[in-house]
Structures are given as structure tokens and as C-alpha cells.
């Protein structure tokens, strides 16, 4: 039975609905990998709640004929100010997941960002779409591998690089520990086997029919990239805590296109990003997956956007769950948003079609919010469309 008809009389409509579908379909260790956050998950919860704390200002008897959600993000035309964030292991959430997500994003008209540690290689994704994705990078200790990744992405046609800066080491994610992802190999295998036995649909559709399951973008550079446990052990040693602003200079020498820094929460860091000569930044706390207890992105966005928004593009992620939240982010100063968990939930729960429909619904929600706020252009959305600024 399809994901649309598995609950009699109830069709998925929201990101929360698709989260339940994904939970029912994915093995627990994969669902928790996407769904979980760091330590006690305070920031994870706060991210979502913070958007709801901003009340929209409704206006009536305003000519809102011709409301237009279109805009451009980092020079790329978009049907709405939204991009799909990079998600590691997305190819395990649905059969060839990165390819399905890239096709859905292109069908709707928004950017897709391919993770360095995605399952599907860039060449496979490029073969499925007309417009190159954005490419996400971690700074690894082996700069030769980094250089090779950048050269391959550029040669494939990618022109926007999303550089994640808030991962010098991995955060403590207790759900992963409970699911055996850091346990001795024999014990981890047993825990996974028990969880996999309850998801025969995923086993057939993704585990068997969705092969190969290596880390496609690193398969040529990394020994044993097809072995998940060995690769995780390798990648954990490759995250580089010595990276500084000087490395941004090196990165810009390697990449002649657009550079966006993902993971900033501080005004001082935002000013440093301007001085480093990048074209954009993403206000982000890694979806609450790195340091628990830091501020939700909605509370940090206004000051950062005010400080540097005239000099580079300010985007935001973390807890965005609807088209109304997209409106809130724009009113608080962002040029656009990135979403992570919602697109994975939809993809895991219902595939490419579900993700396409979710994005289209969010576009309609944004259009409705604009209409009832009395604004017809994305560029005109601002703090005047909120009752209060927290």
C-alpha cells in the first residue's frame, strides 16, 4: 500500500505528518540519525519553537493581486526562497535518495545541496537533473582530498559551495549511542539486525534494490568507502579542529565560484565572513546536532542579518517546518531558508512525489501568508510584517 493510503481517511499534509511516515518506514537507527540532536536535544526543540514565537501581522483590504513567491538565492532563480540542505546518508533514507531529492527540487524550482558524505555520487545526481546542485564541503585534514573534491564538483558544473564550519568534531548524539552506532562492531551489528527485521519494506526497496551504498563522492579517495563502519571511523579522524579563517582564504583560492559558510551564530563571526570575502552565510546550529544549549537560529538571525545583510546573502536553517516559517525567516532578515529534516521525512515516507508535493504545499503556504499580510513580493517582506520581534 502506498504512503498516501496507509492510514485510512488521513493523508499526509505537513512535515509532522511525513515525520510519522518516515518513522514507520525507516529502521530506528536511520530515523534517529536524522531526527535526533545533540545531548539532551534542548536546541533541537528550541529551534522549532522559536519560529512560532513570532506573530504575523495580518492586513486586509490591500490589493494583493499577483502575489509572487519567486526570488533568487545566490544568483539562482527559485520558485520560493528555499533550498534543500545537505544531508549525509540521504541515499539510505530512500532508494538512491539524493537523486530523488534533486529531481523533486528541480521540479519545484529550488536548489538542492549534495553532501560530501552523500550516498549517491555527484555524477549520478548530475545525470538526473538539468541544473547542477550546490555542493557541500567539510574541511578534512587531508587537503589533497578536499582539493580533489572541489575540482570534481567544479568540473561537473557546480558553482555554489556550501562550506560547513561548525563541525571541528562530531557532537554527542545519544540516540546514535543507544542505537549502537558507537558500540563494538559485533554488538552494533546485532542491534541493527534487530531493528532491520522490523522494516522489511525498507530492506527490499532501499537496502537491496538501492545498492550500492558507499559514500559516492569519496569512493576514489578513501579506502574502504563502501564499508559504513570503516568509513565512519575514518571520517571521525578527518574532521579538522585546526581550521581557522586562514583556511577560508585557501578555500577561496581553490574555488572560483560562490562560497557560503554554514554554521554561524555570532555577529563577530558574521563580520569575519564579510572580511573573508565569501558571498553568503547560513545562520545555523547544525539543526541542534552539535552543541546543545546554544541559541535557536530564529533568535540569532535578526542581529546577524542587520549587521551584514547588506554585504552578503544571509540564509538560515533550523526548525523551519512550513511556508509560514519561511515568511517569518524573511521578515526577520533572511534572504531564504534551508530545510533538512522535513525533506528527508517526506522522501523517506513517500519518495520523490511526496517531497515534490510538500514543497508545493509550502509554496502555497508562503503565498497565503504573503496575501494575508498584504505583501506581493518576497523582497518586500520585512519586520513590519511581524507584531513583535523577540
Query: Residue 226 and residue 339: Cα distance in Å, rounded?
Result: 28
> In the chain, what is the straight-line distance between the N-terminal and C-terminal CA atoms, in Å?
45
Across all residues in the chain, what is the average pLDDT? 92
Reference 216, options 343, 103, 116; nearest CA is 116
Query: Taking phi first (over 0 means left), then psi (-120 to 50 degrees means alpha), and beta for anything else, what does residue 109 get?
Result: left
Band the pLDDT of 288: cuts 50, 70, 90: very high
pLDDT of residue 8: 53
pLDDT of residue 169: 84
Q: Which grid cell is 146? A: 578536499
Average pLDDT over residues 327-350: 98
Band the pLDDT of 263: cuts 50, 70, 90: very high
pLDDT of residue 234: 67
pLDDT of residue 216: 83
Tens of pLDDT, residues 199-257: 999 999 999 999 988 888 887 766 555 566 666 666 667 778 899 999 999 999 999 99
From the CB of residue 242, how many other CB atoms can be counted at a distance below 10 Å?
9
pLDDT of residue 224: 56
User: Where are the domains positioned within the chain?
Assistant: 15-385
What pTM was computed for the model? 0.94
Query: Residue 222 and residue 276: Cα distance in Å, rounded?
Result: 30
Helical spans, DSSP H, in the chain:
15-25, 28-35, 42-52, 97-108, 122-126, 143-156, 174-178, 185-196, 200-202, 228-238, 245-254, 267-276, 297-308, 323-331, 341-373
Active site residues: 286
- Residues for the chain: how many in total? 390
Tens of pLDDT, residues 361-386: 999 999 999 999 999 999 999 999 99
Tens of pLDDT, residues 80-113: 999 999 999 999 999 999 999 999 999 999 999 9
The fold for domain 15-385 equals: TIM Barrel (3.20.20)
Average pLDDT over residues 175-202: 88
Amino acid at each position: 500500500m502506498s504512503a498516501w493510503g496507509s492510514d485510512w481517511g488521513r493523508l499526509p499534509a505537513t512535515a509532522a505528518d511525513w515525520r510519522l511516515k518516515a518513522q514507520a518506514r525507516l529502521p530506528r537507527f536511520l530515523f534517529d540519525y536524522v531526527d535526533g540532536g545533540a545531548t539532551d536535544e534542548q536546541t533541537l526543540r528550541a529551534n522549532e519553537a522559536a519560529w512560532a514565537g513570532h506573530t504575523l501581522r495580518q492586513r486586509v483590504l490591500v490589493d494583493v493581486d499577483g502575489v509572487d513567491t519567486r526570488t533568487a538565492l545566490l544568483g539562482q532563480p527559485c520558485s520560493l526562497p528555499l533550498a534543500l540542505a545537505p544531508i549525509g546518508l540521504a541515499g539510505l533514507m530512500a532508494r538512491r535518495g539524493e537523486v530523488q531529492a534533486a529531481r523533486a527540487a528541480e521540479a519545484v524550482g529550488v536548489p538542492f545541496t549534495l553532501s560530501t558524505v552523500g550516498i549517491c555520487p555527484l555524477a549520478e545526481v548530475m545525470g538526473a537533473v538539468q541544473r547542477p546542485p550546490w555542493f557541500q564541503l567539510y574541511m578534512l585534514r587531508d587537503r589533497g582530498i578536499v582539493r580533489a573534491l572541489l575540482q570534481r564538483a567544479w568540473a561537473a558544473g557546480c558553482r555554489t559551495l556550501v562550506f560547513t564550519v561548525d563541525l571541528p568534531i562530531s557532537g554527542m548524539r545519544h540516540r546514535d549511542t543507544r542505537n549502537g552506532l558507537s558500540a563494538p562492531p559485533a554488538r552494533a551489528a546485532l542491534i541493527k539486525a534487530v531493528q532491520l527485521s522490523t522494516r522489511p519494506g525498507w530492506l527490499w526497496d532501499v537496502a537491496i534494490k538501492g545498492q550500492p551504498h558507499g559514500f559516492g563522492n569519496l569512493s576514489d579517495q578513501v579506502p574502504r568507502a563502501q564499508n559504513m563502519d570503516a568509513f565512519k571511523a575514518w571520517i571521525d579522524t578527518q574532521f579538522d579542529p585546526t581550521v581557522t579563517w586562514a583556511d577560508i582564504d585557501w578555500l577561496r583560492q581553490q574555488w572560483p565560484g560562490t562560497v557560503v559558510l554554514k554554521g554561524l551564530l555570532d555577529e563577530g563571526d558574521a563580520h569575519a565572513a564579510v572580511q573573508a570575502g565569501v558571498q553568503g552565510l547560513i545562520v545555523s546550529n547544525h539543526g541542534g546536532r552539535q552543541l546543545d544549549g546554544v541559541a535557536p537560529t530564529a533568535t540569532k538571525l535578526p542581529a546577524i542579518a542587520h549587521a551584514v545583510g547588506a554585504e552578503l546573502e544571509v540564509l538560515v536553517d533550523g526548525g523551519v517546518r512550513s511556508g509560514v516559517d519561511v515568511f517569518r525567516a524573511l521578515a526577520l532578515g533572511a534572504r531564504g531558508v534551508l530545510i533538512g529534516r522535513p525533506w528527508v521525512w517526506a522522501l523517506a515516507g513517500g519518495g520523490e512525489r511526496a517531497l515534490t508535493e510538500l514543497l508545493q504545499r509550502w509554496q502555497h503556504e508562503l503565498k497565503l501568508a504573503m496575501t494575508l499580510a498584504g505583501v506581493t513580493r518576497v523582497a518586500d517582506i520585512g519586520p513590519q510584517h511581524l507584531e513583535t520581534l523577540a
